[in-house]
Amino acid sequence: MSVVPTATVTLGSLRYDQQVVGLVVRLAALPEVSGARVTLPAAVRLDAVPGDPAQVDVGGVAVSGDEGPDTVLTGTVVRIRRGFDLVAVQVADAAAALATLRPAATYTAGTAADVVTALLGDAGAIPGDIQLDLPLAAYVADQSRPATEHVARLAALSGGLATVGGDGAVSAVPLPTEPTVALRYGRDFTDYEVAERAAPAVQLVAVGAGPAGAAGAPDALRPSAEPLPADAPDPGPDAVRVPEPVLRTPAAASTAGKAAQALAAARARRLRARCVLLPALRPGDVVEVQELPAGSPPGPWLLTRVEHRFTPGRGGTTTLDGLDAGAAAAGGLAGLLAPIGGLL
């Protein structure tokens, strides 16, 4: 079956399809900001200005059975560059608003999900699926970091991942480790490369500060001279302690420690691949590759960056960057994190 890629871009109140002469969409998990670069002929009418709404829809090979185009990015116009022949329009997603917000607030008696939801509200971003159960007695959002980094940090401490969906909603969910998409060697891929290094031999231990058994306890914010958890291994050649004062309960410290260990294991094996244009793929998906030649690791791979490129008359490609989702599960997230969805 031959599939002709398509692209439709809405900038302000005008929509462009046949006028699009080039499109690059780069998607990444937070704290990075995802965006698109749309190239149009200079003679085409363009009324949009920075701050206007924008939407990018791309049609290519379907991975879920839905043959219609996928909305790959919803956001705002942030920059316009005009030349004699072409006009380049830069579009950014909701992470751009988070990146410009440097909050100065303290959030008390809640969970990481509560703090993330509050930060999204302050930035005017739309909350999507927020499932971070890490208990927090208090969280100080200081202005040395943008809101994107605060959200990404809270997700990482909780053993999760923060992403922006195609509809512009921001989600922060437990790190998925089960395949959500099945791709096939010889049909979908044009290039496939896996880089491996030794798995971390040192145990990463998140060490909090506080004697409380619950985040809402009266003594939850009382400083403690003892490390949390109390049975944390001593620092040395086999263990590295990572101080996280925001962790005030043993359960929170244990969750963060397992998450750090799992992510370190996942980073030991990385995927870099190029496919035919698959616009439905985005960060947070878990890809399993079928029918690979012997010796090629099939994953599953947790996608952290995805780039879609489209050129009329020449088709398009999708480039994938991913981490070893199987190693993440074996490294400490098994039983702690729930898989998202099922095999499509």
Q: What is the pLDDT of residues 79-101, one digit of tens each?
A: 999 999 999 999 999 999 999 99
**Closest residue by Cα to residue 315 from 277, 272, 260, 289:** 277
- Average pLDDT of the chain, as a whole number: 87
Tokens 């002929």 map to which residue?
Answer: 41
Tell me the average pLDDT across 231-255: 83
Ordered structural domains, the chain, with CATH: 6-92 (2.30.300.10), 97-174 (3.55.50.10), 188-199+271-333 (no CATH), 203-265 (no CATH)
Residue 5 pLDDT grade (very low, low, confident, very high; cuts 50, 70, 90) = confident
| pLDDT surpassing 80 at residue 218 | no
Tell me the three state secondary structure of residue 54.
strand
pLDDT value at position 211?
66
Residue 137 pLDDT grade (very low, low, confident, very high; cuts 50, 70, 90) = confident
pLDDT value at position 213?
65
Share of the chain above pLDDT 90, in %: 59
**Which CA distances in Å does 20 have to 84, 177, 183, 190?**
16, 37, 28, 25
| pLDDT surpassing 60 at residue 66 | no
pLDDT value at position 154?
95
User: Are 302 and 339 in contact, with CB atoms under 8 Å apart?
Assistant: no
| pLDDT surpassing 60 at residue 336 | no
The first and second tokens of residue 287, run together, are: 């890809």
42: left (phi over 0), alpha (psi -120 to 50) or beta: alpha
Give 212 or 112, the one with higher predicted confidence: 112
Give the tens place of pLDDT for each residue, 262-313: 888 889 999 999 999 999 999 999 999 999 888 888 889 999 999 999 998 8
pLDDT value at position 330?
65
